[in-house]
Amino acid sequence: MLNLFRQSGIKVSRLSAQALFHTERDVVAELEDMKLQSVVGLLHQYASPKLAGNWDNVGLLVEPTDPHEVKRLFLTNDLTPPVLDEAIGEKADMILSYHPPLFSAVKRLTQANWKDRVITKCIENRIAVFSPHTSYDALDGGVNDWLISAFDLQDKSPIELTEMPNKKFSKKRIFTVPNDLAPKLVQGLSSIKGTVTTSIAVEPDLVQISFLGNQENASDVMAVIGDHLKAIKSVESYDLQKVVWPGYGMGRKGTLKEPLSLEDAVSIVKKHTNLKHVRLAISPGESVVKSVAVCAGSGGSVLRNVPVSLYVTGEMSHHEVLHAVHSGTSVILCDHSNTERGYLNVLKQELNRLFKEKIDIVISSKDQDPLEIV
Protein backbone atom coordinates (compact mmCIF):
# COMPACT_ATOMS: atom_id res chain seq x y z
CA MET A 1 0.00 0.00 0.00
CA LEU A 2 2.94 2.35 0.59
CA ASN A 3 3.75 1.99 -3.10
CA LEU A 4 0.28 3.35 -3.89
CA PHE A 5 1.11 6.56 -2.06
CA ARG A 6 4.63 6.83 -3.46
CA GLN A 7 3.22 6.54 -6.98
CA SER A 8 0.85 9.41 -6.25
CA GLY A 9 3.78 11.60 -5.21
CA ILE A 10 2.51 12.03 -1.65
CA LYS A 11 5.02 12.01 1.17
CA VAL A 12 4.17 9.52 3.91
CA SER A 13 6.16 9.49 7.13
CA ARG A 14 6.55 7.23 10.13
CA LEU A 15 6.58 8.80 13.59
CA SER A 16 8.30 7.15 16.50
CA ALA A 17 7.31 7.64 20.12
CA GLN A 18 10.43 9.75 20.53
CA ALA A 19 9.27 12.11 17.78
CA LEU A 20 5.87 12.42 19.42
CA PHE A 21 6.98 12.92 22.97
CA HIS A 22 10.40 14.58 22.82
CA THR A 23 10.97 17.61 25.03
CA GLU A 24 12.46 20.93 24.06
CA ARG A 25 15.46 20.11 26.22
CA ASP A 26 16.34 17.13 24.02
CA VAL A 27 17.58 19.47 21.31
CA VAL A 28 20.98 21.05 21.92
CA ALA A 29 21.36 24.06 19.67
CA GLU A 30 24.45 26.10 18.96
CA LEU A 31 24.61 29.73 20.01
CA GLU A 32 25.60 31.03 16.60
CA ASP A 33 25.26 34.63 17.75
CA MET A 34 24.47 36.48 20.95
CA LYS A 35 21.23 37.99 19.72
CA LEU A 36 18.46 38.11 22.29
CA GLN A 37 16.17 35.68 20.47
CA SER A 38 18.95 33.10 20.21
CA VAL A 39 19.60 33.37 23.95
CA VAL A 40 15.89 33.10 24.77
CA GLY A 41 15.61 30.08 22.48
CA LEU A 42 18.34 28.26 24.38
CA LEU A 43 16.80 29.18 27.73
CA HIS A 44 13.54 27.64 26.53
CA GLN A 45 15.42 24.50 25.52
CA TYR A 46 17.01 24.31 28.96
CA ALA A 47 13.62 24.60 30.71
CA SER A 48 10.43 24.70 28.70
CA PRO A 49 8.02 27.47 29.81
CA LYS A 50 5.33 24.76 29.68
CA LEU A 51 6.81 23.35 32.90
CA ALA A 52 5.61 26.44 34.78
CA GLY A 53 2.32 26.65 36.64
CA ASN A 54 -0.56 27.80 34.46
CA TRP A 55 -1.00 30.79 36.80
CA ASP A 56 2.62 31.89 36.41
CA ASN A 57 4.15 34.57 34.16
CA VAL A 58 7.39 33.21 32.74
CA GLY A 59 9.61 33.85 29.74
CA LEU A 60 10.79 37.08 28.14
CA LEU A 61 9.07 39.94 29.98
CA VAL A 62 11.00 42.95 28.64
CA GLU A 63 12.28 42.95 25.06
CA PRO A 64 14.39 45.84 23.75
CA THR A 65 14.11 46.73 20.08
CA ASP A 66 16.36 45.00 17.55
CA PRO A 67 19.25 44.66 17.28
CA HIS A 68 19.97 43.53 20.84
CA GLU A 69 22.96 41.37 21.68
CA VAL A 70 23.48 39.68 25.03
CA LYS A 71 27.11 39.83 26.08
CA ARG A 72 26.52 40.01 29.84
CA LEU A 73 23.73 38.15 31.63
CA PHE A 74 22.86 39.17 35.19
CA LEU A 75 21.29 36.61 37.57
CA THR A 76 19.08 37.51 40.53
CA ASN A 77 16.31 36.00 42.59
CA ASP A 78 14.34 39.28 42.80
CA LEU A 79 14.65 42.33 40.57
CA THR A 80 14.58 45.17 43.10
CA PRO A 81 15.82 48.78 42.60
CA PRO A 82 19.23 48.11 44.25
CA VAL A 83 19.67 44.97 42.13
CA LEU A 84 18.80 46.87 38.95
CA ASP A 85 21.32 49.61 39.78
CA GLU A 86 23.91 46.87 40.27
CA ALA A 87 23.00 45.32 36.90
CA ILE A 88 23.33 48.69 35.17
CA GLY A 89 26.71 49.20 36.84
CA GLU A 90 27.76 45.77 35.54
CA LYS A 91 26.66 46.82 32.02
CA ALA A 92 24.21 43.91 31.78
CA ASP A 93 22.36 43.42 28.49
CA MET A 94 19.90 40.97 30.04
CA ILE A 95 18.61 40.12 33.52
CA LEU A 96 17.39 36.65 34.44
CA SER A 97 15.17 37.23 37.47
CA TYR A 98 13.90 34.00 39.01
CA HIS A 99 10.78 35.79 40.30
CA PRO A 100 8.89 37.67 37.56
CA PRO A 101 8.95 41.44 38.18
CA LEU A 102 5.85 41.65 35.96
CA PHE A 103 3.08 39.37 37.16
CA SER A 104 -0.37 40.93 36.98
CA ALA A 105 -1.75 42.78 33.96
CA VAL A 106 -0.26 46.28 33.51
CA LYS A 107 -2.39 49.13 32.18
CA ARG A 108 0.21 51.89 32.52
CA LEU A 109 3.87 52.38 33.38
CA THR A 110 4.45 55.42 35.58
CA GLN A 111 6.82 56.45 38.35
CA ALA A 112 4.11 55.90 40.97
CA ASN A 113 5.43 52.59 42.35
CA TRP A 114 8.73 50.81 42.55
CA LYS A 115 7.95 47.98 40.15
CA ASP A 116 6.92 50.42 37.42
CA ARG A 117 10.15 52.35 37.98
CA VAL A 118 12.18 49.15 37.70
CA ILE A 119 10.58 48.19 34.37
CA THR A 120 10.83 51.67 32.83
CA LYS A 121 14.48 51.86 33.91
CA CYS A 122 15.16 48.50 32.23
CA ILE A 123 13.58 49.82 29.04
CA GLU A 124 15.55 53.09 29.22
CA ASN A 125 18.80 51.17 29.65
CA ARG A 126 17.95 48.59 26.95
CA ILE A 127 18.08 45.65 29.37
CA ALA A 128 16.05 42.56 28.52
CA VAL A 129 14.31 40.76 31.39
CA PHE A 130 13.61 37.03 31.47
CA SER A 131 11.91 35.09 34.28
CA PRO A 132 11.79 31.26 34.62
CA HIS A 133 10.15 30.99 38.08
CA THR A 134 8.17 27.74 38.47
CA SER A 135 9.63 26.21 35.30
CA TYR A 136 12.88 25.98 37.29
CA ASP A 137 10.98 24.59 40.30
CA ALA A 138 9.70 21.67 38.21
CA LEU A 139 12.94 21.20 36.27
CA ASP A 140 14.93 18.00 36.72
CA GLY A 141 18.07 19.42 38.30
CA GLY A 142 16.30 22.68 39.18
CA VAL A 143 15.67 24.67 42.34
CA ASN A 144 14.04 21.89 44.38
CA ASP A 145 16.75 19.40 43.46
CA TRP A 146 19.32 21.91 44.68
CA LEU A 147 17.41 22.40 47.94
CA ILE A 148 17.06 18.70 48.77
CA SER A 149 20.70 18.03 47.77
CA ALA A 150 21.64 19.25 51.26
CA PHE A 151 20.72 15.76 52.45
CA ASP A 152 22.37 12.41 51.68
CA LEU A 153 19.48 10.46 50.17
CA GLN A 154 18.98 6.88 49.05
CA ASP A 155 16.05 7.87 46.82
CA LYS A 156 14.43 11.05 45.51
CA SER A 157 11.36 11.94 43.49
CA PRO A 158 9.07 14.90 42.73
CA ILE A 159 6.08 15.34 45.04
CA GLU A 160 3.80 16.40 42.18
CA LEU A 161 4.74 14.85 38.83
CA THR A 162 4.66 17.11 35.79
CA GLU A 163 2.28 16.04 33.06
CA MET A 164 2.67 17.73 29.70
CA PRO A 165 0.57 17.59 26.55
CA ASN A 166 2.24 15.86 23.62
CA LYS A 167 4.56 18.40 22.11
CA LYS A 168 3.14 18.26 18.58
CA PHE A 169 -0.21 16.50 18.55
CA SER A 170 -3.29 16.22 20.75
CA LYS A 171 -5.58 14.28 18.38
CA LYS A 172 -5.25 11.08 16.39
CA ARG A 173 -7.85 10.32 13.73
CA ILE A 174 -8.03 7.01 11.84
CA PHE A 175 -9.96 6.78 8.56
CA THR A 176 -10.86 3.44 6.98
CA VAL A 177 -11.33 4.07 3.25
CA PRO A 178 -11.36 2.23 -0.10
CA ASN A 179 -8.00 1.85 -1.80
CA ASP A 180 -8.94 4.13 -4.70
CA LEU A 181 -9.89 6.98 -2.30
CA ALA A 182 -6.72 6.75 -0.19
CA PRO A 183 -4.34 8.87 -2.34
CA LYS A 184 -6.89 11.68 -2.68
CA LEU A 185 -7.62 11.69 1.06
CA VAL A 186 -3.93 11.66 1.99
CA GLN A 187 -3.29 14.54 -0.39
CA GLY A 188 -6.03 16.60 1.23
CA LEU A 189 -4.89 15.82 4.79
CA SER A 190 -1.30 16.65 3.85
CA SER A 191 -2.38 20.25 3.26
CA ILE A 192 -3.39 20.60 6.93
CA LYS A 193 -0.99 21.28 9.77
CA GLY A 194 -0.35 17.76 11.02
CA THR A 195 1.19 14.50 9.87
CA VAL A 196 -0.22 11.66 7.78
CA THR A 197 1.28 8.44 9.10
CA THR A 198 1.82 5.06 7.50
CA SER A 199 -1.37 3.41 6.29
CA ILE A 200 -2.36 -0.16 7.07
CA ALA A 201 -4.27 -2.47 4.74
CA VAL A 202 -7.15 -3.93 6.75
CA GLU A 203 -8.91 -5.76 3.91
CA PRO A 204 -8.00 -6.41 0.27
CA ASP A 205 -9.89 -3.28 -0.82
CA LEU A 206 -9.68 -1.14 2.36
CA VAL A 207 -6.89 0.84 4.01
CA GLN A 208 -6.55 2.79 7.26
CA ILE A 209 -5.05 6.28 7.18
CA SER A 210 -3.90 7.86 10.44
CA PHE A 211 -3.72 11.62 10.86
CA LEU A 212 -1.98 13.25 13.83
CA GLY A 213 -3.11 16.80 14.45
CA ASN A 214 -4.80 19.05 17.00
CA GLN A 215 -8.31 19.94 18.02
CA GLU A 216 -7.88 23.33 16.36
CA ASN A 217 -7.74 21.83 12.87
CA ALA A 218 -10.90 19.73 13.25
CA SER A 219 -12.82 21.97 10.83
CA ASP A 220 -10.03 21.63 8.23
CA VAL A 221 -10.15 17.84 8.54
CA MET A 222 -13.92 17.86 8.06
CA ALA A 223 -13.53 20.05 4.98
CA VAL A 224 -11.19 17.45 3.46
CA ILE A 225 -13.30 14.39 4.20
CA GLY A 226 -16.69 16.07 3.77
CA ASP A 227 -17.05 15.25 0.06
CA HIS A 228 -16.14 11.61 0.71
CA LEU A 229 -18.21 10.79 3.78
CA LYS A 230 -20.36 8.24 1.97
CA ALA A 231 -17.28 6.35 0.78
CA ILE A 232 -15.45 6.43 4.12
CA LYS A 233 -16.21 3.24 6.03
CA SER A 234 -15.33 4.52 9.52
CA VAL A 235 -13.70 7.41 11.41
CA GLU A 236 -12.07 6.96 14.82
CA SER A 237 -10.84 9.83 16.98
CA TYR A 238 -8.51 9.59 19.99
CA ASP A 239 -7.23 12.14 22.49
CA LEU A 240 -3.51 11.56 22.91
CA GLN A 241 -2.69 11.23 26.57
CA LYS A 242 -0.51 13.67 28.46
CA VAL A 243 3.07 12.57 29.00
CA VAL A 244 4.64 12.28 32.45
CA TRP A 245 8.18 13.66 32.46
CA PRO A 246 10.24 11.45 34.82
CA GLY A 247 12.17 13.56 37.32
CA TYR A 248 10.13 16.70 36.62
CA GLY A 249 7.57 18.17 39.01
CA MET A 250 6.93 20.44 41.98
CA GLY A 251 8.72 19.76 45.26
CA ARG A 252 11.00 16.84 46.09
CA LYS A 253 10.89 14.06 48.68
CA GLY A 254 13.39 11.39 49.66
CA THR A 255 14.59 8.88 52.23
CA LEU A 256 17.86 9.53 54.04
CA LYS A 257 20.63 6.94 53.80
CA GLU A 258 21.20 7.34 57.52
CA PRO A 259 18.77 8.87 60.06
CA LEU A 260 19.67 12.28 61.46
CA SER A 261 18.87 14.07 64.66
CA LEU A 262 16.65 17.09 64.17
CA GLU A 263 19.51 19.26 65.44
CA ASP A 264 21.84 17.90 62.75
CA ALA A 265 19.17 18.41 60.07
CA VAL A 266 18.84 22.06 61.11
CA SER A 267 22.63 22.52 60.89
CA ILE A 268 22.68 20.96 57.41
CA VAL A 269 19.93 23.28 56.16
CA LYS A 270 21.60 26.37 57.64
CA LYS A 271 24.91 25.49 55.99
CA HIS A 272 23.28 24.71 52.62
CA THR A 273 21.29 27.97 52.54
CA ASN A 274 24.12 30.02 54.11
CA LEU A 275 21.86 31.18 56.95
CA LYS A 276 22.71 31.89 60.58
CA HIS A 277 19.15 31.32 61.72
CA VAL A 278 16.07 29.39 60.62
CA ARG A 279 12.67 28.83 62.23
CA LEU A 280 11.84 25.38 63.55
CA ALA A 281 8.55 23.73 64.48
CA ILE A 282 9.10 20.39 66.25
CA SER A 283 6.58 17.61 65.94
CA PRO A 284 5.77 15.89 69.27
CA GLY A 285 7.28 12.46 69.61
CA GLU A 286 10.34 11.06 67.84
CA SER A 287 12.90 13.69 66.85
CA VAL A 288 14.83 11.51 64.41
CA VAL A 289 14.72 12.53 60.75
CA LYS A 290 14.41 9.55 58.40
CA SER A 291 12.80 11.24 55.41
CA VAL A 292 12.43 14.76 54.08
CA ALA A 293 10.29 16.75 51.66
CA VAL A 294 11.21 20.18 50.33
CA CYS A 295 9.53 22.93 48.36
CA ALA A 296 11.41 26.09 47.46
CA GLY A 297 9.56 29.32 48.23
CA SER A 298 6.09 28.85 49.64
CA GLY A 299 5.53 25.16 50.30
CA GLY A 300 2.25 24.87 52.19
CA SER A 301 0.08 23.45 49.42
CA VAL A 302 2.73 21.20 47.82
CA LEU A 303 3.95 19.70 51.10
CA ARG A 304 0.56 19.21 52.75
CA ASN A 305 0.07 15.62 53.95
CA VAL A 306 3.33 14.33 52.45
CA PRO A 307 4.23 11.58 54.98
CA VAL A 308 7.85 12.37 55.92
CA SER A 309 9.77 13.28 59.07
CA LEU A 310 10.71 16.82 58.01
CA TYR A 311 9.54 19.61 55.72
CA VAL A 312 12.00 22.25 54.50
CA THR A 313 10.57 25.29 52.76
CA GLY A 314 10.68 29.07 52.74
CA GLU A 315 7.33 29.86 54.26
CA MET A 316 4.10 28.26 55.47
CA SER A 317 1.09 29.80 57.17
CA HIS A 318 0.48 29.37 60.89
CA HIS A 319 -2.27 26.83 60.32
CA GLU A 320 -0.22 24.89 57.74
CA VAL A 321 2.59 24.53 60.29
CA LEU A 322 0.14 23.45 62.99
CA HIS A 323 -1.29 20.81 60.67
CA ALA A 324 2.18 19.50 59.82
CA VAL A 325 3.57 19.18 63.34
CA HIS A 326 0.44 17.54 64.75
CA SER A 327 0.42 15.13 61.80
CA GLY A 328 3.92 13.93 62.71
CA THR A 329 6.18 16.18 60.60
CA SER A 330 8.64 18.79 61.88
CA VAL A 331 9.09 21.97 59.83
CA ILE A 332 12.10 24.16 59.00
CA LEU A 333 11.26 27.59 57.55
CA CYS A 334 14.08 29.61 55.97
CA ASP A 335 12.02 32.55 54.58
CA HIS A 336 10.89 32.54 50.99
CA SER A 337 13.79 33.44 48.74
CA ASN A 338 16.47 31.87 50.97
CA THR A 339 15.33 28.47 49.71
CA GLU A 340 15.85 29.60 46.09
CA ARG A 341 18.81 31.98 45.93
CA GLY A 342 21.56 29.40 46.37
CA TYR A 343 20.46 27.73 43.13
CA LEU A 344 21.81 30.71 41.18
CA ASN A 345 25.33 29.35 41.65
CA VAL A 346 24.28 26.05 40.09
CA LEU A 347 22.41 27.89 37.35
CA LYS A 348 25.47 29.95 36.45
CA GLN A 349 27.43 26.75 35.79
CA GLU A 350 24.56 25.28 33.74
CA LEU A 351 24.20 28.43 31.64
CA ASN A 352 27.95 28.65 31.04
CA ARG A 353 27.68 25.16 29.57
CA LEU A 354 24.53 26.04 27.63
CA PHE A 355 26.04 29.18 26.11
CA LYS A 356 29.49 27.59 25.74
CA GLU A 357 30.91 30.47 27.82
CA LYS A 358 30.19 32.96 25.03
CA ILE A 359 28.23 35.13 27.49
CA ASP A 360 29.62 36.66 30.67
CA ILE A 361 27.35 35.66 33.58
CA VAL A 362 27.24 37.66 36.83
CA ILE A 363 25.29 36.84 40.01
CA SER A 364 23.87 39.77 41.98
CA SER A 365 25.51 40.59 45.31
CA LYS A 366 22.68 42.97 46.30
CA ASP A 367 19.86 40.42 46.03
CA GLN A 368 18.63 39.29 49.46
CA ASP A 369 15.47 38.25 51.26
CA PRO A 370 13.68 41.27 52.76
CA LEU A 371 13.20 39.44 56.09
CA GLU A 372 15.88 38.66 58.63
CA ILE A 373 15.87 37.36 62.18
CA VAL A 374 17.23 39.97 64.62
Q: What is the pLDDT of residues 266-314, one digit of tens each?
A: 999 999 999 999 999 999 987 899 999 999 999 999 999 999 999 999 9
Q: Note the pLDDT tens digit of each residue in 164-186.
A: 766 667 778 888 888 888 888 88
Of the listed ranges 114-123, 157-166, 188-197, 344-353, the one predicted with least confidence = 188-197
Which residues does 365 contact at the CB level (< 8 Å), separation at least 6? Answer: 86
Query: Can you give the pLDDT at residue 199?
Result: 62
Computed over every residue of the chain, the mean pLDDT equals 87
Amino acid 174: pLDDT:
87
Q: What is the pLDDT of residue 197?
A: 65
pLDDT for residue 31 = 61
Question: What percentage of the chain reaches a pLDDT higher than 90?
Answer: 64
85, pLDDT greater than 50: yes
pLDDT band at 89 (very low <50, low <70, confident <90, very high): very high
Question: In the chain, what are the domains?
Answer: 2-20+166-239 (3.30.70.260), 31-138+344-363 (3.40.1390.30), 152-160+249-333 (3.40.1390.30)
Q: Give the pLDDT of residue 19.
A: 34
Q: Could you give the 3-state DSSP secondary structure of residue 166?
A: coil
CA angle 25-341-102, nearest 5°?
75
pLDDT of residue 140 exceeding 80, the answer is: yes
Please enumerate, as own/partner, the contacts of 238-243 that have beta carbons within 8 Å and a separation of 24 or more. 238/171, 238/172, 238/173, 238/174, 239/170, 239/171, 240/20, 240/165, 240/166, 240/169, 240/170, 240/171, 240/172, 240/212, 241/166, 242/163, 242/164, 242/165, 242/166, 243/21, 243/163, 243/164, 243/165, 243/166
Whole-number pLDDT of residue 286: 76
Model confidence at 200, pLDDT cuts 50, 70, 90, reads: low
pLDDT for residue 198: 57
State the Cα–Cα distance between residues 314 and 331, nearest whole angstrom: 10
Q: What is the pLDDT of residue 349?
A: 97
Say yes or no to pLDDT of 8 above 50.
Answer: no
Read out DSSP for 94-144? EEEESS-S--S--S---SSSHHHHHHHHHHHTT-EEEE-THHHHHSTTSHH
